[in-house]
Amino acid sequence: MDDRLRDAPFGVLEVTRDGVVAAVDDTATDLVDGLADAAGAPVGDVFPRSVEDSVPSAFAGETVDAGSFEEYYPDLDQWLAVTVTTRDADSDDTDPGTESCEAPPAATVFLEDVTERRRYEQTVERFRTERARTAVIDALLSDVLAELVGADSRDEIAETICSRLGETELYEFAWVGERAVDGDGVAVRAAAGGTGETFDAVRETLESSRPTAEERAVQTGDLQVVAPLAEDPAAPEPVRRAGFADGVQSLLAIPLAHGSTVHGVVGVYAAGSDAFGERERASFRTLGEVAGFAVTAVRNRSLLRSDAVTEVTFEVDRPAALADLSAALDARVALEGTVPQGDDALLCYVSVDDGDVDRLAAATADGGETDASSSATLDVPGVDAARVVHAGESGGTLELEVRSDSPLLAAENAGGTVQRAEFASGSGRVVVDLPPDGDVRRMVAAVCREFAADVQAKRDRERSPSRGREFRDELGDELTDRQQTVLRTAYLAGYFESPRDSTAEEVASSLDITGSTLLHHLRASQRKLLDAFFDGDVRPGNAE
């Protein structure tokens, strides 16, 4: 080999017309393991394999095929730029390094490691593709979310999600399942797209011994990503086989959750194995949260506007937050009203008869531990914070932040509205209303599954039309959700009493907002209330 080639900053192989390696420089042996002893061996035996095997193929014919190309070599985990050049057949120049070969070199193979550049280009292209795909997905999900806000029924919510996701080129199909009444199983509610054999396999394996990704999403409340589907050992075998046959390589299971309740799940199936990156997952998490909220809102609107309701009365024993509270105080505790607070909490306003409300507030202010002045230790699980709204000689009113250890929250999250709740000595009754199309079995299962509760009575009753209810319905359409929350909290906290039971700062603290924000919402909602009262409707020019 010419000394100039030996000293070149790239790998060099000299190969005879018979495809035998005549010489190899040091750079080539550093680039490719196995070339150090390659001289005298067929190039096809010593050169690493690639998908196209372009180097051995260049010497497979009667003449050498010159050319340049870049290939990935799996055994090396490298990209190599390769150039094959031929020599003049009449050339008689030889090199001492080739004296042992039967024929002089006919071609020279130049090698260069381009792995870093190719990986950089792949990274740039991947980000470019992800950015374009994310823009399309975000626009799609924005449209879906806008439609969900105005949905009037759970069927409309399910059909909106399925049609918008399942009928795009991004995904093969989508389906929506609803949580089964008596457990964590899933029942199909809607589907759209080219479902093929995969959706049939998913439907048939629901509630089988090996849960689907959608069932796991319902059980855990967490997003589930599967890719590639055919190789996922957790997926039921029929689903893996069907996905392989249909060319479905990945799926995303999105829980439809509001607060601590998972209403159902969306299954989205795609052909690519990298269809759901981190950005897509974040967007779909938002979709699941908004859809879960929409399901809850539909149920609440249905109850608010219905002339008939289903009333269910539960008998509840300890452990449950307000039952435990009545036992700890040895007093009668009655619910005056609730305000949803965050994802898994209720702000509860309760009246206490024949109990020491100051003692309770001191006991719960630090997470259930009494201060030095308390006569006994109170253990009230699920009550994170307490504040005395009004104190009398033998009782008063308390504001409690109640977490998930409460049948009240379970009933609300399952679509019911708690009308009354009274407890004494560790037990009591909770009365819950549902709209006519409400799922009574689901709500009962949600309450009884988690708490020591039994159904005492169930009845359907008519709500007589009243001008007051019509007024509330009309005004409710004008107030924003935040305005209603602020107005209800201030009312239940005694802000409008004279003298006030709660200051603006105390109400704002309960809602985790500033005092100025509270007053802004109060002024806006009060103006709408007065407009509706004096003028019969809200004047658009005065609405905030």
Which CATH number belongs to the domain containing residue 254 in this structure? 3.30.450.40
Whether residues 440 and 321 share a domain: the answer is yes
Residue with tokens 């070199």: 105
In a shared domain, residues 71 and 151:
no
Same domain assignment for residues 92 and 165? no
- Contact, 325 vs 349, CB < 8 A? no
Identify the residue whose tokens are 């409309």.
Answer: 156
Q: Exposed, middle or buried by CB within 10 Å (0-12, 13-18, 19+), for 166?
A: buried
**What's residue 300's pLDDT?**
67
Same-domain status, 104 and 213:
no
Q: How far is CA 468 from CA 137, 138, 474, in A?
A: 45, 43, 10
At 44, is the pLDDT very low, low, confident or very high (cuts 50, 70, 90)? confident
99 confidence band (pLDDT: 50, 70, 90): very low
Mean pLDDT across the stretch 88-115? 66
What are the residues whose beta carbons fall under 8 Å from the beta carbon of 78, sequence distance 6 or more?
31, 72, 113, 115
Are 339 and 408 part of one and the same domain? yes
Chain centroid to Cα 314, Å, comes to: 33
More confident residue, 495 or 544: 495
Quote the tokens at residue 4. 């100039």
The angle at the Cα of 65, spanning 61 to 69, to the nearest 5 degrees, equals: 130
What is the model's pLDDT at position 359?
A: 63
Q: Would you place residue 88 in the very low, low, confident or very high pLDDT band (cuts 50, 70, 90)?
A: low
pLDDT for 303: 63
Q: Would you state the pLDDT for residue 369?
A: 40
| Residue after which a domain boundary falls, among 303, 327, 345 | 303
More confident residue, 436 or 72: 72
Q: How far is CA 334 from CA 311, 341, 396, 420, 431, in A?
A: 18, 19, 11, 8, 12
Q: Judge whether 534 lies within some domain.
A: no
Please state, for a pLDDT cut of 90, what percent of the chain lies above it.
19
Residues 417, 462: one domain? yes
Residue 296: the pLDDT is 76
* 245 falls within a domain: yes
How would you classify residue 382: left for phi > 0, otherwise alpha for psi between -120 and 50, otherwise beta? left
For residue 385, CA distances in Å to 397, 399, 529 come to: 14, 8, 31
Same domain for 488 and 410: yes
The pLDDT of residue 366 is above 50:
no
Would you give the DSSP letter of residue 20?
B
Could you tell me the end-to-end alpha-carbon distance of the chain, in angstroms, rounded to an integer? 86
In a domain, 397, yes or no: yes
Using CA atoms, how far apart are residues 484 and 530, in angstroms rounded to an integer?
Answer: 14
Question: Which run of H or E residues covers position 432?
Answer: strand 427-434
Where in the sequence is the domain holding 492, given as residue range(s)?
Answer: 308-528
Mean pLDDT, the chain, integer: 81
533 domain-assigned: no
Pick from 55-69, 356-370, 488-502: least confident: 356-370
Of 91-95, 312-316, 370-374, 401-405, which has the strongest mean pLDDT? 312-316
- The HSE-up count of residue 506 (CA atoms within 13 Å, CB side) is 19
Answer yes or no: is 539 within a domain.
no
Same domain, 296 and 351: no
SS3 category, 514: coil
Domain boundary (276, 303, 330) is at: 303
The reply to whether 389 falls in a domain is yes
In single-letter form, the type of residue at position 2 comes to: D
pTM for the full predicted model: 0.55
Boundary of a domain, candidates 239, 268, 303 = 303
Residue 125 lies inside a defined structural domain of this protein: no
What three-state secondary structure class fits 139?
helix
Identity (one letter) of the amino acid at 109? V
Three-state DSSP at 513 gives: coil
258 & 364 share domain: no
What's residue 9's pLDDT?
82
Mean pLDDT of 89-103: 49
What's the pLDDT tens digit per position in 277-328? 888 888 889 888 888 888 877 776 666 666 678 889 999 888 888 888 888 8
Task: Say if residue 293 is in the same domain as residue 316.
Answer: no
pLDDT (0 to 100) of residue 51: 86
pLDDT tens-digit readout, 15-28: 988 889 899 888 88
What letter represents residue 323's amino acid? A
The number of folded domains in the chain is 3
Given a cut of 90, whether residue 223 has pLDDT beyond it is yes
The sheet that has 21-24: what strands, in order across it?
A: 21-24, 11-16, 105-113, 78-86, 67-73
In the beta sheet, which residues pair with residue 253?
224, 267
Tell me what the mean pLDDT of segment 189-208 comes to.
87
Same-domain status, 80 and 203? no
User: Of 46-60, 402-416, 477-491, which range is least confident?
Assistant: 402-416
User: Rounded to whole angstroms, how far apart are CA atoms 80 and 85?
Assistant: 16
Distance, CA of 4 to CA of 14 (rounded, Å): 13
Sheet order of strands, 261-270 included: 186-193, 173-179, 261-270, 250-258, 224-226
What's the confidence (pLDDT) of residue 226? 92
pLDDT score at 472: 62
Residues 6+ apart with CB under 8 A from 405: 319, 320, 321, 381, 382
Residue 217 included in any domain: yes
Average pLDDT over residues 44-57: 88
**Each residue of 472-513: pLDDT tens digit?**
666 666 788 788 889 989 989 999 988 888 999 999 998 889
Q: What pLDDT does residue 164 have?
A: 85
Q: What percent of the chain has pLDDT over 70?
A: 83
CATH of the domain at 51: 3.30.450.20
pLDDT tier for residue 69 given thresholds of 50, 70 and 90:
very high
- The CA dihedral of 179, 181, 182, 184, to the nearest 10 degrees, is 0
The pLDDT of residue 119 is above 80: yes
Confidence (pLDDT) at 251: 93
- Name the more confident of 13 and 141: 13
Same domain, 336 and 370: yes
